[in-house]
Amino acid sequence: MKSYREELWFQTESRREYVNITAQVERAIQQSGIQEGMVLVNAMHITASVYINDDEVGLLQDYERFLEQLVPHSADYQHNRTGEDNGDAHIKRQIMGREVVVALTKGALDFGPWEQIFYAEFDGRRRKRVLVKIIGE
């Protein structure tokens, strides 16, 4: 079995953004030379997420509205009393998840229709990374 590791780095312009990273993950797969196996993609920061869904602008706006209604940035979080202002970002990450695992078949992501991999940033404007780990043959 072979293993390949790559880090993707992001620095978003705004506090919250949703970035389609499917192409970067596919490039890592090609670099790995692995044809059959699994791909793990995970956010390496506690205020960011990686998830799979459709890349449709209305859906991305729905996520933003839903998460802000459920966990508003302006709410009074205990965490913010430590001098931070990102208590909401930590909770949003828990809702959206830390990582995804996708089967790799014939050197390609084994996706269902419309599936794409996204990096979701909830406390941006600074450099953060995503780990891509590929194992298989």
The per-residue pLDDT for 11 is 96
Residue 66 pLDDT level (bands cut at 50, 70, 90): very high
Q: What is the DSSP letter of 55?
A: -
The per-residue pLDDT for 81 is 95
Mean pLDDT of 39-54: 98
Domains belonging to the chain, first-starting first, are 2-136 (2.60.120.460)
72-88 pLDDT, tens digit each? 999 999 999 999 999 99
Q: How far apart are CA 103 and CA 27, in angstroms?
A: 15
